[in-house]
Amino acid sequence: MSDPKHESEAARKARNGRNIAMFIGLMAFVILVFVVTITHLKGNVVAGPSF
Amino acid sequence: MSKTTAADLDRADALAPPAQWQDYVQLLKPRVMSLVVFTALTGLFCAGAKLNPVLAATAILCIAVGAGASGALNMWYDADIDALMRRTQRRPVPAGRVQGADALAIGLVLSLFSVALMYLAVNLLAAALLAFTIFFYAVVYTMWLKRSTSQNIVIGGLAGALPPAVGWAAASGTAPLNAWLLVAIIFFWTPPHFWALSLNTEEDYRRAGVPMLPVTHGEKATRTQILIYSLILAPLAVLPAITGLGGVAYLAAAVAGGAAFVALAARLAIRGAKADAKRLFGFSIFYLFSLFAVLLVEHIVGAAPFAHLIG
């Protein structure tokens, strides 16, 4: 692993870019799972109780 | 054959500029991903089932991410031979911008996420077919067939052919004969498409020690094989019009496109010019794209299947 004290400006920028991309990716995944869950719940509410 | 060693790749890592997020996107082979998404979308619409748009979009996303994961695993495993071929040496791993271990981790994590989300959001059959597609591309094709047999892209082509069946299964929970007909079209399209390309990149494959057909059996045998597969593909692509999947526009596209495909393959077989191979390669992309595009449009606008018109 590179030493953060001696990290070049380009390397720092690239790392920040990767971190932001990963944050966006993870947030998108969380939102997607939430939306899919709500969609399934809505479908089940519309379908009504199965008994 | 000169062999790129782990030390060579480590040296490339040390010299390479730091990885940008775009390098990770490139790792997912976005161009391959776009073709996979397109054929899967066609399968999804052709199923004719009512699927919630959110879930349909999620299914397509899972297929895209699964295809990307396969690409990352392929780039991780093939870094040594990619470094030896002009077409692939600028890829992130052989160029040293992304470490092999990172490509492996991304491939595995995305495979897991895409299959799990497909199961949770859509259904088990679609998830199982997606998992099988990733496994077939990454393990059966990349790790086994690619370096061991000249039939590598024939058998391995199944991985690229499966997305319409995954899309169909996502929409309807089933994979009937018509879904497998779409799979068969891509399966028989793959060998003439790749062999036409490899006739112009033969030297690269020879240098990397990849047993592509032109390397192992020569150009003449490859041209003959291209013609044989084209003769199977052209009538096969007409079948969806008979089985009730395609309409009149599809029939016209399949007949005209198939005739042109066979004519180009025959010219390549007879003349053997490099330009003919390049022309066939370009046309093969247009041919597959037009078949699936017509099918997709017919199903979106609700055009009557040709079989119903005559039956």
A15/B58 Cβ within 8 A: no
Q: What does each C-alpha distance from B144 to A38, B84, B150 come to in angstroms?
A: 42, 19, 12
DSSP code, position B83: T
Answer whether A44 touches B (CB < 8 Å): no
Inter-chain CB proximity B21 and A39 less than 8 Å: no
The verdict on a CB contact (< 8 Å) between A36 and B54 is yes
> Residue A8: what pLDDT?
84
Q: pTM of the predicted model, to two decimals?
A: 0.89
- Nearest CB to A36; choose among B17, B24, B58: B58
Other beta carbons within 10 Å of B270: 11
Write out the two tokens for B96: 């040293």
Is a pLDDT exceeding 80 seen at residue A46?
no
Alpha-carbon span B268 to A51, nearest angstrom? 66
B99 contacts in chain A (CB < 8 Å): none
Taking CB atoms and an 8 Å cutoff, what residues of chain A touch B58?
32, 36
Q: Does A23 touch chain B (CB under 8 A)?
A: no
Judged by CB atoms closer than 8 Å, whether chains meet at B120 and A35 is answered as no
Contact: A29, B52; criterion CB under 8 Å: no
Percentage of the residues of chain A whose pLDDT score is greater than 70 = 84
User: Does residue A33 belong to the interface with chain B, where contact is any CB pair within 8 Å?
Assistant: yes
Q: Min CA distance, B117 vs chain A (Å)?
A: 8
Residue B201 dihedral angles phi and psi, to the nearest 5°: -125, 20
> Would you call B117 and A32 a contact, using CB atoms and an 8 Å cutoff?
yes
**Residue B213 is which amino acid?**
L
Q: Which of A18, A21, A35 sits opposite B54 (nearest CB)?
A: A35
pLDDT at B1: 41
Pick A10 or B233 by higher pLDDT.
B233
**Tens-digit pLDDT profile for chain B (311 aa)?**
445 555 555 555 555 677 888 899 999 999 999 999 999 999 999 998 888 999 999 999 999 999 999 999 999 999 999 999 998 999 999 999 999 999 999 999 999 999 999 999 999 999 999 999 999 999 999 999 999 999 999 999 999 999 999 999 999 999 999 999 999 999 999 999 999 999 999 899 999 999 999 999 999 999 999 999 999 999 999 999 999 999 999 999 999 999 999 999 999 999 999 999 999 999 999 999 999 999 999 999 988 787 777 76
What ipTM did this prediction achieve? 0.75
Taking each helix axis from N to C end, the angle separating B177-198 and B248-271, rounded to the nearest 10 degrees, works out to: 30
What residues have CB less than 8 Å from B301, skipping those under 6 apart? none
**A-B Cβ pairs (cutoff 8 Å, strict):** 36
> Which of chain A's residues have a Cβ under 8 Å away from the Cβ of B97?
none
Query: Which chain B residues have any C-beta within 8 angstroms of a chain A C-beta?
Result: 17-21, 24, 52, 54-55, 58, 61, 113, 117, 120-121
Q: Please report residues of A whose CB lies closer than 8 A to that of B54.
A: 35-36, 39
- pLDDT at residue number B5: 59
Compute the C-alpha angle B46/B159/B252, nearest 5°.
40
Which two three-digit tokens encode residue B218? 């020569």
Instruction: Inspect the interface and report whether the beta carbons of B20 and A36 lie closer than 8 Å.
Output: no
